[in-house]
Structure 1
Amino acid sequence: MKDVAELAGVSITTVSHVVNSTRSVAPETKARVLVAVEQTGYTGDAIARSLVTGGTRTLGVAISLVANPYFAELLRSMEHEITRSGYTLVLTDTHEEPYMEQAAVRILRSRRVDGLILTPSPGVAVLGELRQLKIPLVLVDRLTTAQDIDQIGPENIYATSGLVQHLASIGHRRIAMISGIEGLATTTERVLGYRLGLGRAKLTWDESLVVSGSSAAERAAAALAQLLSLPSPPTAVVAANNVMLLGVLHECRARGLKVGRDLAVVGYDDVDWADLVDPPVTTVAQPIAEMGRAAVRMLLDRIADPTRKPTTARLPTTLMHRNSCGCGL
């Protein structure tokens, strides 16, 4: 740091402020310091700095990367906001398993992250431990009923209800749902939305029309096969996430079913290819980028003010109306 200061013609304190983003520095001065940093190859000592400041300028993210491509997009937006805010991302994969989630969180704790963002697995087994340790925490995507935790996620209930009501409005009376992993908040909320949609459309609940696809393409394909084998099979199906939507479409193709004509198909989660298949798929789009950025900002607010009242935020979704529901075919 002394070499950088001499080369840039500034004080060591100024170099520290530039490198650690701890105080505003005049643009010309900052530019000279950054040139000197590049010439000397200076990186700073994060460990030494953490001993002085009590923080590491790192944020931990524990997320299930293997479960759904949706999480990769969510992670991308969080990483961008974390970096923009002057922090470093430390990532662990929970593999959608409670014991792996606990191990992932403990790894992040051992790295002394300043705060943690978590997409909880079924049961949210680590919440008690994190509460006791008072680690700044934000739950993202999958919310709990707890009122003492910061959390942010999409609106699931009314969005799913809207899909069902739309299918009913165009004449469908046997509307099925392929649900996600049991025990997840998103699964519970989307099934509740499905039931709400049936009620608003004055359709009768039939438990045989809801089959778990366990948030996996193969299981969703098997779930559709089970639904189509019913004595009175559905004429429309709601897939509760994008991975299961893919399995449903594969099963339709394997059976020679024309989507939108032989079977109406809609899904929760929009995907890049939704308007490229034939017919384009009607979906509910989540505000993924906004949700990731907001989760980071919520965590930074908690770090800055540990006594702040916890916040639960629900972000609105968007119905992407296309033709897989049978409209226009």
Structure 2
Amino acid sequence: MADVARLAGVNASTVSHVVNGTRPVSDGTREAVLRAIAQTGYRHNALARSLATSSTTTLGLASSISANPHFADLVRAVESAARAAGYTLLLGDTHDDAEQELRVVQELADRRVDGVLLAPSPHAGERALPLLRAAGVPTVLVDRFTDDGLDQIAPENVEATAALAGHLADIGHTRVAMVVGMPGLHSSAERLAGYRRTVAERGLDDDPALVVAGGSEPGRAAEAVAALFARAGRPSAVVVGNNAMTIGTMRALRDLGLRVPDDVALACYDDFEWSDLFEPRLTAIAQDVPRMGARAVAMMLERIADPALPARAERVVPALRHRTSCGCRPGRAPRTTASDPGPVPVGTGGRGTLGA
């Protein structure tokens, strides 16, 4: 820095202000400093700065990135919000495995990240979360809730899945199946609860055999759906609990020679970027992933700034994208009301609505 200052004809504090953006300097001075930096090959020493400030300006994101296309979208949203706030994002793939999750959060803590955003596995409360608490790492849970008193943000699940099943009931289906995700996740339990609520309220067939375990994986979902349709009393419609299982469900229906929606109506939780690029176009619940990622980062920065804040739990209300896989008549949209309420604090009584 002293070399850069001598070459630019300024003092070292001015070089620091240019590099760190801590004080406005004139355009001429900034250009002189940048030319000197280029000539000397100076590189900002992030490690030295972190020792001086007790901040690495890095955040960690731990989630099952490779197992579900949804998490790739979440990574993009979180990285964009973190970068806009001046943070670098470090990623770790947990594979929704307890041991791998523990390794990932330990490595992030060892690298002294300023905070960890975690999409918790079903076993996070046993080891990963206690480790983060013991290390004093600010933590925000994203996409999935747990029972722990931590900052959390996730999509609304019950109303959304009830809307999917309700739409299928509106167009005449009475025997509707549900492919449920990984056990132990709040999202799986809540989406199943939404389905069951509609079954009870609308008088649909409540045969327990219509609920099958897809394990939040394409392969397991395909096996479960194949077994479901091998039995007597096939369903006329299927609700799928996430987009990884939607891939498996569609593969199984294809292998069985069943056409969507001619033979089986299909509606799913989680939209795909390419959902409307092929036929049938998927009727799906679309999460507002950019909003969820931005809010997760905002909650993290607020937590870093004030560790004494009370824990917050918020929901982001998704939207129902009505397309053709449900098989209803053109122009017959679901009976929902468009709304954009943003994040909804849990426990306020506000349930929000779904946009058609």
TM-score by length of 1: 0.94
Aligned length: 327
Rate the CA distance shift 1:6–1:200 in 2: closer, same or farther, 3 A: farther
Name the counterpart of 1:3. Answer: 3
**Alignment partner of 2:99: what SS?**
helix
- Deviations for 1:263-307, whole angstroms, at most 9, x for unmatched residues? 001110100221122121100000111111111111111111111
More displaced, 165-174 or 4-13?
Answer: 4-13
Name the counterpart of 1:288. Answer: 289
Superposition pairs for residues 65-214 of structure 1, below 5 Å?
65-124=65-124, 125=126, 126-146=128-148, 148-214=149-215
- Deviations for 1:39-84, whole angstroms, at most 9, x for unmatched residues? 4332222222122111111111112112112111110111122122
- Deviations for 1:197-225, whole angstroms, at most 9, x for unmatched residues? 22232324332111111111121111111
User: Post-superposition shift, 1:27?
Assistant: 6.2
Partners of 2:176 and 2:204 within 8 A in 1:
no
CA distance in 2, matches of 1:304, 1:101: 26
Superposition pairs for residues 245-260 of structure 1, below 5 Å?
245-260=246-261
**Alignment partner of 1:163: what SS?**
helix
CA distance in 2, matches of 1:14, 1:186: 51
Rate the CA distance shift 1:12–1:105 in 2: closer, same or farther, 3 A: same
**Alignment partner of 1:72: what SS?**
helix
Name the counterpart of 2:336. Answer: none
Identity percentage of aligned residues: 47
Name the counterpart of 1:25. Answer: 24
- Deviations for 1:247-274, whole angstroms, at most 9, x for unmatched residues? 1111222222120121001110100221
Rate the CA distance shift 1:64–1:27 in 2: closer, same or farther, 3 A: farther
Q: Which has the higher contact order (CA 8 A, sep 6+)?
A: 1
CA distance in 2, matches of 1:218, 1:27: 60
Gapped regions of structure 2 (runs ≥ 5): 331-356
Rate the CA distance shift 1:141–1:30 in 2: closer, same or farther, 3 A: farther
TM-score by length of 2: 0.87
User: Post-superposition shift, 1:164?
Assistant: 0.4
Name the counterpart of 2:270. Answer: 269
**Alignment partner of 2:275: what SS?**
coil
CA distance in 1, matches of 2:309, 2:65: 30
Amino acid at match of 1:190: R
More displaced, 108-117 or 225-234?
Answer: 225-234
Partners of 2:106 and 2:131 within 8 A in 1:
no
Gapped regions of structure 1 (runs ≥ 5): none
Runs of 4+ in 1 over 6 A off after TM superposition: none
CA distance in 1, matches of 2:314, 2:233: 40
Rate the CA distance shift 1:315–1:31 in 2: closer, same or farther, 3 A: farther
Amino acid at match of 2:324: N
Partners of 2:109 and 2:135 within 8 A in 1:
no
Amino acid at match of 1:136: P
